[in-house]
Every structure is written in C-alpha cells, then in structure tokens.
Structure 1
C-alpha cells in the first residue's frame, strides 16, 4: 500500500512540474525525496504531432519579419490591406509570445524579439507614409527603442536592453549626421 501511495505522490509531483504549479527546484527536491534519488527526472517528452506543430510555429514566426518587410516596402497593396496584414502578423506573434511566456518555453525570447521588431517596422513605415516631418519619424523610432529598453528591464532580458541602447545610439548618430 505504501508503494502505491508513493507512486501516486510522484505522479502528482510530475504533474505539478509539467504544469508549473510549483517551481522546478521544489519539484526536483520532492521527487528526489520520494524516489530516494533512484529515479531520474526526465524532461517533458513531446509527441510527434506537438514537435511538428512547434516546428511549424517557429518557421512561421521566423518568416514574419521578411514577409512584413515585403508587404510594407515591396508591394503596391492599398494601405488598409497593408495595415490588415501587419495586424495579423502582430496578432500571431503576440499570441505566440503570450503562449510561450505562460509555458516558460525556450522560444519565448524569439517571439519577444520578432514581435518588437514587427512593431518597430510597422510603426516607422506607417508614420513615414502618413507624415512628411522627419522629427515625428525620429520620435517614433526613439519611442520604440525606449519601449525595448523598458521591456528589457522589466522582463530582465539583457540582450533586449543592449539592443535598445545600440538602437538609440545609432539613431542619434543617424539624426546628427
């Protein structure tokens, strides 16, 4: 009877770990405690369908940047159609960002970067299309980089903070020269 209860507890701890109900460190400690260090804790295994779905999501996410650039700069679509397409791209990348953030997935950083890059690309393009004043375009560009900086500080993502600082420096040099 005791082995049956221990197996149930181990199964429950694995469930907690899989669904992030407890931090991984606590789950590992409890698993080591109940298994007496004999059972290895293996990472979560995915089915073949989940792997294929993840690969397709990643490929589509990586294609968002070139397609956004293509839609904005190399097509003669009407502005409403361009806005709609970019809005769909942003919706998809933001959905993946939220989905991967909740699961603490390794692709979280890629989705964050692609989402912010598409926002930067779209905001600068549409600002340049609807205004003739360069100062407004520069303000939009600097606002995007400041947003990147704040996101880097809030999410504690160093590469985003560094990219924002480099973007601000390059934008200032571009404005001055």
Structure 2
C-alpha cells in the first residue's frame, strides 16, 4: 500500500482513538496492523503533567493556608480562586476520563470554603458545621453515583456518618 494512503489511514485511526469513536483495543489493533507495530506515540503520557501540577498546586496552597494566619475572608478569596481554576481543568480532563482527582479537589475546596464562611459569619450554635458537612457529603454521594467513582462514594458515606454522629453526640 502506498505510504500516503497508510499515513491517512493511521491519522484517521488515531483521530478515532483520541475522540473515542471506536474502542481503544480496536484502534490499537488497527494501528499495530497499519504501522507494523511501530507506534511513535507513547500511550497515557499527556495526563501526567496536568496531574503533577494539580497535586503540587493543592499541596502548596494547603500548606500556605495552614501555616499562615490570614483573615477568613482572605482564605475564602484564595479558595474561591482555586475553585475557579479547577472548574476548567475538570471540564478538560472529563474528555480524557481522568477527572476524579480535579473533581475531588474541587469538592474539598468548596467544603473548606463553606466551613470558612460559616466561621467568618460567626454562626451561633454547633449544628452549622455538621449540617454543612452532611450537605457536602450528600452532594459527593450524588456525584459519585452519577459518575461511578467509588472513592468519592466512600468519602461521602463517611462524611454522612461523621455528621450524624456529631449531631447525636
């Protein structure tokens, strides 16, 4: 077969694989068939830098907020900015199927933002914190059932149990 035709076919199969128009195993088989087993694209390497930057950003921001004494409104502004940063990351990574880490990070940031807001408003009584945790846990459970994320389901159930226990005791 002519090399021009092979290149067109290989590009088309690669397009199908990237956009998930065919199952990945079929695309891998077809690519191996048309390239003779020589593929120059490493599989799964393009998500590693995004994940590394995300984990590093979360770690640095958590340490910064923990070790500095800031007013609650400034903490809320920083957490809100982090949430705004994570929303497009989730949308982009959802296409790749690797959105669990950014989504979990966003939910944790929103929980911390809510608890900081409760603290800043000086809500009387002790029921505000468990109620916020219970509401966030219910959202985590709904999200995990929708997208079939077991770790987030476990975290949501644990949060509901802890919130219920704090109401009772």
Same fold (TM over 0.5): yes
- Give the conservation status (yes or no) of the 8 Å contact 1:61–1:111: no
The aligned counterpart of 1:156 is 148
Q: Which structure 1 segments of 5+ residues have no match?
A: none
Deviates more, 1:93-102 or 1:53-62: 53-62
1:134-161, Cα deviation, whole Å (9 max, x unpaired): 2233221110000010011011001110
Alignment RMSD: 3.0
SS in 1 for 2:127: helix
Q: Could you tell me how far apart the structure 1 residues matched to 2:72 and 2:8 are?
A: 60
Aligned pairs, number: 167
Q: Which structure 2 segments of 5+ residues have no match?
A: none
Residue of structure 2 aligned with 1:167, choices 135, 159, 168: 159
Q: 1:132: how far off?
A: 1.1
Matches within 5 A, 1:123-134: 123-130=114-121, 131-134=123-126
Q: TM-score, normalised by structure 2?
A: 0.78
Q: TM-score, normalised by structure 1?
A: 0.75
The aligned counterpart of 1:15 is 15
Q: 1:18: how far off?
A: 3.1
- Give the conservation status (yes or no) of the 8 Å contact 2:127–2:167: no
1:2-56, Cα deviation, whole Å (9 max, x unpaired): 4431332012212332344544234234335x529x4255534758xx9767633
CA distance 1:142–1:12, shift in 2 (3 Å): same
Matches within 5 A, 1:1-177: 2-32=2-32, 34-35=33-34, 38-39=36-37, 43-44=42-43, 55-67=52-64, 69-70=65-66, 75-77=69-71, 79=73, 81-105=74-98, 108-130=99-121, 131-177=123-169
- Give the conservation status (yes or no) of the 8 Å contact 1:64–1:114: no
Q: Could you tell me how far apart the structure 2 residues matched to 1:148 and 1:53 are?
A: 23
